[in-house]
Structure 1
């Protein structure tokens, strides 16, 4: 960026002139127009309007009627219905880059909106500016002062700057000069050239943004986010009263000056009390002539300000970021205790925390204890709760999974109030008994040899259980109970086999069927296993 340390001096404007001009140097008429304002730049301000460049005070311009079409050419005579505009400064305006401290020149493209020194600006696009004929204005800036020495017919830079500004205002705001005005020939020639050879295309504007632009953060230092970075190039990070992280867990801390790439997601925690909290991303880029600067909304009490357009290519800073609103908050610690003979066999436990803040807004949080958590205490924390909130903990999912018999959870106290920058505790105790079930075994004897078989042995194998049962030799045809085993742990897989099947010299075992061969014990249920043996009588005399 070129440094413009010396500004062209201008006479002090009168109070009436200040009320009508494009640039209002200050609220008082006796402030020197070339003096920079002491107003503070905004947190994300790209540039601040700080002075005047080359130009002239014009008192002979007219507002043409709304029916005038600037694309039809500069009027050869003052259009009927035109009204005197009053005094206006026409020329270049100085902005100061907030990243490098260098300066650049801009023109006005919104005549009927005022601005003043100290107003904060940010890079924008033509669509955002919503100014007519910007393409033709872009052509002018590519071929005329200050990028070139044109119009060469003008006697000095002040005259050149005034002619360019008046040509721009004709295209954007229908401001016209009468043919007898000494600037008329230069202004009309600039417009004719632009209409014949333009419009220019909008320059590629550097892009950098952070969304969302604001977020609340707790005084307890909890991490909030994500903030998504978009742009067409890397930027450097400047935190202010916050810590910035590259992950939601807050483990990958970023330092001032770190490079952040487009597409990155950032998280933030508040470092403590501070008037301004947030972070800025900043990149220095080449900005082409005709890029627009728009009011960034950062001046207290100022709703809108003049739209500006860059007069020539400069090396400037683009800035974006996010602001944090810190609020008083506290922490809730849940002392979660798992106990009982079934502890460690339960499923996942879900705790819900409902907190009602002093404004009656309800915020809900969820914490989960993984399935199979062993017996003992552990702490589940909820931080960043608005101070003064009343919170109640409930347990909608108590770990019931068929393997345990949960008792009612004990939650003490039922409700707590969250202090500022401090912690309160709620104890939640879950007691689990081991769930049990049973297995019933029956034996069916069939076939021509039924009743002549020997002793039958049935074996039941479960985790920790291995038992054998017998059916007496010669048991008759039909179905017989073998055993019913209770108190087996739910979820246990049990297998039934028949190691001794009763074959002897009198009978032959023709077929064996065990259904099902393996069963899983269910809570409060007796599973049945059916064994069927079909015997065939061996031919010949029985001795």
Structure 2
């Protein structure tokens, strides 16, 4: 048999591209760009089946059903009511005003089969009267929203209660009339189709079916097995780099089948899945091209029970066929539910980036980020790519390479350093040197670019300021102050001579201290003696953090008071002196001991 048409007309030409590709909610379509050619048809129209043959051969990786023939049915005469006509108001007694004559060459069952396993078959009705279809046209399962056909709840009621699910309408002379009556009733709800009053017998059957559906319908949409892979298409390099992830979602798992590809559960390609592996919803997949097969990609498949009332939508995979009528499953059956991804393979090369780190600050810099923008120079393709290359903070001196594989051949790539690693620990000596800043990618070759950064260790300084005050100022002994830094190389000891008068003494700055070092000041010898005692010491701040290019200041403030009672203070020593009293001496009962802080009254504690 040839062209199966829901209407008498034969399409003279079709538009550019298949609409199936734009509406596939379950991401199963792989419509090749440019399904733009018109379907060649003869200039005259056929009142019945088109005898010129079936649709051009073609099958997508995710095709779930293909038209293989017709079942019970026959031609019917009728009219399409105008747009304002409401099928829910009931079947009209005559032909509504302003209706358009439209005799259908075939009204009945259309047989489908699973293209992967033709033993899985089913039967459908048309729900798209004014669009044609043919033997060999490919379909994918869909939901009612995708079909965008009115009154499908009433269509579902008819399918659940009439032929071929049951023998109704029983009054029909045979299955051909029975199928034609059911199809005509479906068209009444989907396309406002009214049987010509001249065919009284079939018109009466259709009117009864419609009345029953209006009285007892609508029925709910059947649940559809869901299996989705996102994205469903990918540009992949011919050089075999891994792409992904592909997210698997749905309410059923799928069995993996690969075509010219390898599939993994990790981006590094360490865990490969072989054909026959079961993949559950929630899994992320990665894949690569391993051959020049066309089409190529991977498919997840689950053989499932497909319920009556499930719609089938043209999947866009027949060459030169832009559109085809929508179908609805007339009876429950088993078909393969398919999802996956198709690959568009492109020629590629690579770019090797060498990051050269030099200078005294090498290894102290922060993260370095290199951005590579590759612009496809071919006006017929859209393969622009953006890459981000990261070198971790603390990467040591020397050359460090990263290779970007699978870059589209012919691309012009511009290289910039968006984060130089300059931080509180280092200074960048000069702007990064990128040689060359742009490269052109050649198929199966590796372009080279070097980025050089020279770092110096960031440093700062610390200065101690000594303030001497109080009524005893100028009578104290030598004062010794110690600067202690986390980097021991910058520890210093400073001495202020005995009898230095009241005032402020700025000690020499210690420079070149690595940033983020911590330094603190402490008095090793306070200058206390028999003439003066230390009434108070204040060190502020207690420590400083070294900042790049900044001199931090620590102020040590001493206040001295005179000792008024020489007898009471003749044994007052500085806090660092070792005092030993021999048995039988001035304090004959005491042995030797280290003194602690000397209290104002001269007693040790």
With normalisation by structure 2, the TM-score equals 0.80
- 1:291 deviates by 1.2
CA distance in 1, matches of 2:437, 2:149: 61
CA distance in 2, matches of 1:210, 1:14: 32
1:322 correspondence with 2:341: yes
1:236 correspondence with 2:255: yes
C-alpha distance 51-464 of structure 1, shift in aligned 2 (>3 A) = same
C-alpha distance 20-348 of structure 1, shift in aligned 2 (>3 A) = closer
- Compare 41-50 and 409-418 and name the one that shifted more: 409-418
1:105 correspondence with 2:123: yes
- Compare 72-81 and 285-294 and name the one that shifted more: 72-81
Partner of 1:167: 185
Partner of 2:439: 416
CA distance in 1, matches of 2:221, 2:417: 59
1:221 correspondence with 2:240: yes
- Compare 44-53 and 369-378 and name the one that shifted more: 369-378
Provide Cα deviations, 1:481-517, integer angstroms capped at 9, x if missing partner: 3332223223322221111111111111111111223
Residue of 212, 215, 226 corresponding to 1:196: 215
CA distance in 1, matches of 2:515, 2:455: 13
Partner of 1:305: 324
C-alpha distance 171-31 of structure 1, shift in aligned 2 (>3 A) = closer
User: What is the aligned-residue RMSD (CA, Å)?
Assistant: 3.0
1:524 correspondence with 2:541: no
Partner of 1:353: 372
CA distance in 1, matches of 2:310, 2:232: 23
- 1:461 deviates by 1.8
C-alpha distance 523-185 of structure 1, shift in aligned 2 (>3 A) = closer
Provide Cα deviations, 1:389-418, integer angstroms capped at 9, x if missing partner: 233433343222232233233333343221
Q: Give the total of aligned pairs.
A: 528
- 1:472 deviates by 1.1
1:130 correspondence with 2:148: yes
SS at match of 1:461: strand
CA contact (8 A) 2:478 2:527 kept: yes
Partner of 2:35: none
CA contact (8 A) 2:49 2:106 kept: no
- 1:227 deviates by 2.8
Equivalent residues in 2 for 1:327-342, closer than 5 Å: 327-342=346-361
Partner of 1:268: 287
CA distance in 1, matches of 2:89, 2:427: 88
- 1:477 deviates by 0.8
CA distance in 2, matches of 1:41, 1:272: 19
C-alpha distance 307-355 of structure 1, shift in aligned 2 (>3 A) = closer
SS at match of 1:191: helix
Provide Cα deviations, 1:314-339, integer angstroms capped at 9, x if missing partner: 12222222222222222111122223
With normalisation by structure 1, the TM-score equals 0.88
| Structure (1 or 2) with the greater strand fraction | 1
Consecutive unaligned residues of structure 2, counting only runs of 5 or more, are 12-39, 571-605
SS at match of 1:166: helix
Consecutive unaligned residues of structure 1, counting only runs of 5 or more, are 1-9
C-alpha distance 187-391 of structure 1, shift in aligned 2 (>3 A) = closer
- Compare 405-414 and 370-379 and name the one that shifted more: 405-414
CA contact (8 A) 2:4 2:133 kept: no
1:407 correspondence with 2:426: no
CA contact (8 A) 1:20 1:88 kept: no
- 1:342 deviates by 2.1
CA contact (8 A) 2:56 2:318 kept: no
CA distance in 2, matches of 1:358, 1:298: 29
- 1:205 deviates by 2.1
